[in-house]
Chains A and B, each alone.
Chain A
Amino acid sequence: MAEEQNPQQVILTKLKNSFYNSADFVAKPISWWENEVAILCFYSSIVNKSDVERIMYFFKNNLRDDSLYWGESVYTTVIPLDEKQLAKFLCDGETIVVRLKTKEMIRITLPEMAYRQTEEPASEHVIQGSREGLVENFEVNVSLIRKRIKSHKLVVKQKYIGNETHTTISYLYMEQLVDQEALQLIEERLDKINIDLFYSTGQLADYLEDSVWSPFPQLLKTERPDRIIASLHEGKIAIISDLSTTALIGPTSFFSFYQTPDDFNGRVITGSFYRMLRIFSFILAVFLPAFYIAIVSFHFEILPLELSNQIKSDIENIPYRPILEAVILEMTIELIREASIRLPTAVGQTIGIVGGLVIGDAIVSAGLVSNMMVIVVAFTAIASFVVPSTEMNASIRFLRFPFMILASFFGFLGIAFGAIILLIHLLNLTSLKRPYMSPIIPFNPKAIHKIFFRTPFFKPAKHPKSFSPKEDGK
C-alpha cells in the first residue's frame, strides 16, 4: 500500500507547493472508479461546492470511461493532463479531478464568484424604460444583452488581459453590421496590451483610444444594456469586462454623449426638445463664465443700461479681478461636488446644503465674490450636469477653465480664439479612426437632423448608422 501511495503523495505535495500552500486551496486524493485513485483540487473560495459534489457523485456512480465522450457534459470536459493549464483552470474557479492512471483531468466548470444582482445604474438614471444595469459578471452581462438581441449575429469574442490578473475581456458586435475596420483596430489594440495588473475599464480605454491626451472621451462608457444594444445595432463594438459595470462603446461620435434612452422612451417632440436643450447646455457650460468675465473686464458696453447698474453695484466692492472671483467660486463648486461623491448619500446631501446655501450666501455677504458671479457659476454648474455621460460632464467642467483664463486676458477675442482651437481639435479627433464630429464633419446632410431631433421610429426605413458598416443588412 505504501508503495502505491507514493506517486499520489508526490503529486499532492508538488501541487500544494506550486500553489504556495494557500489556505483556500484544496487538494486531496479521492477514490475514483474501482481501485483507481484520483486527485481532486480546487479553490474553496471560488467554487460552487455543492453542485460540484453532485456532479462528482453522478460521475462516480453512473459513468464508465468505455464510451466515446464519456466525460463531456454542460459543466464538464476531459482533457489530457497539463500542469500549466491546470493552474490556470483552477484560478478560473474550476474544479479539477486528475486521473493518475490515464493522465487525464476532468474539468468541472462550476465557479461561484461573488457578484451583485443587477441594479439600476447609478450614473445613468432614466425616468422611464429599462432599469437594468450591467454588473461585475461576464455571464450576467452577456445574458442581459442577449436577452435584448435574440440573434445569432450577435458575436461575443474573448481576450485575456493582465499577465497576473488574467482578466476576461469580451467584445461584442453584430456580424454583418459591424464596422470591420474598427473591429480590426480593436483586436489589434487589445492584442498589444501588455500589463500585469488589470483592474478597470479606464485602463482599457487608455489603450483603445486614439488620443489619450484629448479632454474628450472617445469611447462611450455606459452601464445600460439598452444603450449597448442600440450601439451594436449601429455597427459599433461594445467591450465589457468581468470586473467593471462599465462597457466601452466605440467608435463614438461627440453627439452620442448627448443622447439618452429617455429620448426614445418619451414622445418625439419632447425628446427632440430635450436633445436640443442638452446641446445648448454644452455651449452654456463651456462659455458662460468666460463670457461673463469678458463682459465685465473688456466689453461692458454691451450690457443693457438697466442691467448695468445692478452689475456695477454688485462688483464695485469686490477686491480682485473677475477671473479670481470666478476661480474661487468654481473651485468651491468642484470641492462640494468632489466631497459629496465620496461621502454616503445622507452626508452628501448635507454637504450640498452646507456648501451651496451656507457658503454661497456667506461668500457674497462677505464681499468675496459678487452676486452676479454666483448666478453665472451656479448656472454653468447646472448646465454641465445636464450631460447624460459622466465622463463628458467632467471634460466640460474642465474645459471652461482655459476659456475663463483666455477671456480674462483677451476678452471676446480670446474666447473666439479658444473656440477655434477647440473646434479644430474636435474636428481632428477620431474615435477608432472614425471622425468624432460625425455627422457634421464629414458632412452628412441626411443624418444631421438626428443631432437635434429624435425622429419617430417608423420613419427611418434605412438602417441607422453613425458610421458606414459594409452591409446594412436591412
Chain B
Amino acid sequence: MLLLAGCWDERLYKDHTVVSLVGIEGTLGEMKGYFAYPEVQTGNSEVTIIESEGIETRELRLNADLKVEQTIDLSMMSTLLISEDTAKDGINKYLDVFYRDPTNSLTAFLVLVEGDVKDYMEASKSWTTEAGEYFARFIRSKEEVSVVPHRTVQTASSILFSEGIDLVLPYMVLKDEDKKRPELGGVGLFSNGKFTGRVLEPDQSKFLGLLLQERGRKIKYSALYNDQPLSFTILNVGKTRKIQSPTQVKMDYKLKIEIEEFSDTGLRDVKKISEIEDFIEEKITEEIYNVLNILQEEKCDALGLGNDFRVKKPEVFDENWHETFSNLDIQVNVKAEILKTGLIH
C-alpha cells in the first residue's frame, strides 16, 4: 500500500502554477477559459492571465497548460466565474471537470458574471489581494449578512443533481467606468440547472436567505416606521413547513429580532413593542411574498420544496415539478419577537 503513493506521485510545489481564479464563457463547441495565477517577480507578485480556447472545459485546461512553463494546478482555485451565456446553457456539464479531480478545491465559490468574463479577470490585476481570494472574500462577507446563499462547487453540484431543489448563485456586475470594481448584482436564479436570466436584487435576496435559513447568518433590514427610521437584525429564524394539500404549502417563520436603530422612545412599553413586532411581521411577509412570486414566475424552486413533496406527496412530484411549483399556493406566516432593544430607550 505504501508503494501506491511513492515518490512518483510527487507534485513539487515549485513546479506547479497555482491558479486561484478561473473564468469560463461560451458554450460547448467554442469555449473560452481564463486562468489567473500570480507570477512572482522579486518580492511582489503580479497576476498573469492565461487565455485558452477549446470545445469543452477539460480541453480549456489542457490548452492553457500549453501556455505556461509549469503545470497548471487548480487545487487552490477559490472562485470560478461563469458567464451568463454558459449558465443559460445548463451549468452541470461545464462543472464536471472541477469536481472530478480529487485534488481540486471543492470549496471554490461559483459566481455568475454579467458580460465578458475577460473584464473581470483583467480587473483582478488592480487588486492587492489574490485574484480568486478577492471574489471569495467578497462572497463570504455577503454570505454573513445572508445576501447570497452558501454555494460552492461541492454544494452547487449536489443541488444540481437533485431534482427537487434549484440552484441560486451570486451574480456580479461590472458597472464602474474603469471596470475595476465588480459589485454584487444580486442572486441569479436557476431552473432545472439552467440560468433563467432573472436576478434577484440584493434587497430581495436577503429574504431568499431568510427562507433558506442558514445557521449563523444575520439579516439586516431597515424600514420607516411612522416616518422614523427603524433598523433591525434578524438573529435567528425558526421555520416549519407544512404541506397541506397537493397544491398548498404553509410556511411558518419565527423570527428573533434585535433592534439596531430606532430613534423613537418608548421601547420599554410592551404595547409599543408588540406594535413594532406587528409592523415588522407585516413588512417581512410582504417582502417574502415578493420573492416567492419571482421564484414561482421563474420556476426556480430554490427552497427545495420539491424534496419535501417527494417525501410527503410523491404523487405530485414528477417530471413536471417545475410547472407544479410555479402554480403552488404558498402561504407564509411570520411571527416576530423582539429580543434585544439596544442600550438607549
A and B assemble together = yes
Chain A residues within an 8 Å CB radius of B281:
none
Counting CB contacts under 8 A, is A108 at the interface? no
Query: B residues within 8 A CB of A50?
Result: none
Contacts of A411 in B (CB 8 A): 5, 9-10
| Residues of B contacting A417 in the complex (Cβ-Cβ under 8 angstroms) | 2
Task: Verify if A297 is at the interface (C-beta below 8 Å from B).
Answer: yes
Q: Does B78 contact A (CB under 8 A)?
A: yes
Out of A303, A318, A408, A413, which one reaches B14, CB within 8 Å? Answer: A318
Contacts of A318 in B (CB 8 A): 14
In the assembled complex, the CB of A375 is this many whole angstroms from the nearest CB of chain B, namely 16
In the complex, chain A residues whose CB is within 8 Å of the CB of B6: 409-410
Q: Could you tell me the distance between the alpha carbons of A321 and B136 in the complex, rounded to whole angstroms?
A: 32
| B299 CB → nearest A CB, Å | 37
- Give residues 405-463 of A contacting B (CB, 8 Å): 408-411, 413-414, 417
- CB of A219, distance to nearest CB on chain B (Å): 34
**Distance in angstroms between the alpha carbons of A295 and B7 in the assembled complex:** 13
Residues of B1-30 whose CB lies within 8 A of A: 2, 5-7, 9-14, 16, 18, 20
Please, which residues of chain A bring their CB within 8 A of the CB of B132? 305
User: Could you mark each residue 128-155 of chain B with 1 if its beta carbon is under 8 Å from any beta carbon of chain A, else 0?
Assistant: 0110110010000000000000000000
Choose among A315, A316, A318 the residue with the greatest number of B CB atoms under 10 Å from its CB.
A316
- A414 and B2 contact, CB distance less than 8 A: yes
Are the C-beta atoms of B5 and A312 separated by less than 8 Å?
no
Contact B14 A315 (CB under 8 A): yes
Q: Are B16 and A300 in contact (CB under 8 A)?
A: yes
The answer to whether residues A316 and B18 also contact, given A306-B133, A410-B5, A414-B2 and a CB cut-off of 8 A, is no
Contacts A301-B76, A410-B5 given; does A309 touch B38 at CB 8 Å: yes
Contacting pair A413 B5 (CB below 8 A)? yes
- B191 → chain A closest CB, angstroms: 33
Whether the pair B7, A408 counts as a contact (CB closer than 8 A) is yes
Nearest B-chain residue to A409, judged by Cβ: B7
| In the assembled complex, B126 has its CB within 8 A of some CB on chain A | no
Which residues 228-253 of B have a CB within 8 angstroms of A? none
Cβ proximity bits A294-314 to B, threshold 8 Å, 1 near / 0 not: 011110110101101101110
Contact with B11, one of A300, A305, A413 (Cβ below 8 angstroms):
A300
Q: Once the chains bind, are B2 and A305 in contact (CB under 8 Å)? A: no
Q: What 1/0 flags go to A373-408 for Cβ under 8 Å of B?
A: 000000000000000000000000000000000001
Distance from A191 Cβ to chain B, minimum over Cβ atoms (Å): 45
Chain B 101-127: CB-based contact to A (< 8 A → 1; otherwise 0): 001010000000000000000000000
Query: Is the CB–CB distance between A312 and B9 below 8 Å?
Result: no
Across the interface, which residues of B come within 8 angstroms of A410, CB to CB? 2, 5-7
CB-contacts of A53-103 with B (<8 A): none
Whether A321 and B12, one on each chain, are in contact in the complex, defined by CB atoms closer than 8 angstroms, is: yes
Kindly list chain A residues whose C-beta atoms are within 8 Å of the C-beta of B133. 305-306
Q: Which residues of B contact A306 (CB under 8 A)?
A: 129-130, 133
A297, B11: Cβ atoms closer than 8 Å? yes
Chain A residues touching B, majority SS = helix
Instruction: Specify which of B5, B7, B12, B130 is in contact with A305 (CB 8 Å cutoff).
Output: B130
- Whether A305 lies near B13 (C-beta < 8 A) is no
* Interface size, chain B (Cβ < 8 Å): 28
Inter-chain contact A312/B18, CB cutoff 8 Å: yes
Chain A residues lying within 8 Å of B13, measured Cβ to Cβ, are 295-297, 300, 311-312, 315
Known: A301-B105, A305-B76, A318-B14. A313 touches B40 (CB 8 A): yes
Using CB atoms, name the residue of chain A closest to B43. Answer: A313
Chain A positions within 8 Å of B45 at CB level: 309, 313
Given the known interface contacts A309-B38, A316-B14, the answer about A413 and B76 at a Cβ–Cβ threshold of 8 Å is no
Distance, CA A305 to CA B79, complexed state (A): 12
Cα–Cα distance between A321 and B43 once the two chains are bound (Å):
22
CB-CB < 8 A to B5: which residues of A?
A: 410-411, 413-414
Which B residues touch A408, using CB under 8 A? 7
Shortest B37–chain A CB gap in Å is: 10
**Which one of B10, B12, B18, B103 lies within 8 Å of A308 (CB-CB)?**
B18
State whether the Cβ of B285 lies closer than 8 Å to any Cβ in chain A: no
Q: Which of B29-83 contact A (CB under 8 A)?
A: 38, 40, 43, 45, 73, 75-76, 78
Which one, A295, A298, A322, A413, contacts B2 given CB within 8 A? Answer: A413
The answer to whether A298 touches B130 (Cβ under 8 A) is no
Inter-chain CA distance A295–B20, complex, in Å, is 18
- Please tell me if the beta carbons of A305 and B14 are within 8 angstroms of each other in the complex: no
Given contacts A300-B16, A301-B105, A411-B5, contact A308 B76 (CB under 8 A): yes
Q: How far is the CB of A311 from chain B (nearest CB, A)?
A: 7
What B residues does A414 contact at CB under 8 A?
A: 2, 5
Q: Which of A297, A309, A311, A413 contacts B12 (CB 8 A)?
A: A297
Q: Kindly report which residue of chain B lies nearest to residue A315, judged by CB atoms.
A: B14
User: Do A301 and B20 form a contact, CB below 8 Å, given A309-B45, A313-B40?
Assistant: no
Residues of B near A298 (CB, < 8 A) are 9-11
Bound complex: CA A321 to CA B11 (Å): 11
**A417 to B130 alpha-carbon distance, docked (Å):** 36
Contact B40 A300 (CB under 8 A): no
Cβ contacts under 8 Å, A313 to chain B: 40, 43, 45
B78 touches A305 (CB 8 A): yes
Q: Which positions in A face B, CB cutoff 8 Å?
A: 295-298, 300-301, 303, 305-306, 308-309, 311-313, 315-316, 318, 321-322, 408-411, 413-414, 417
Closest 3 pairs (CB-CB, A-B): A301-B75, A313-B40, A300-B13
- 17 A-B interface contacts by CB (under 8 A): A295-B13, A296-B12, A300-B13, A300-B75, A301-B103, A305-B18, A305-B132, A309-B45, A312-B14, A313-B43, A315-B14, A316-B40, A411-B5, A411-B9, A411-B10, A414-B5, A417-B2
Name 14 extra pairs, CB < 8 A, besides A297-B12, A312-B38. Answer: A298-B9, A300-B11, A301-B103, A303-B76, A305-B18, A306-B129, A308-B18, A309-B45, A311-B13, A318-B14, A322-B12, A410-B5, A411-B5, A414-B5
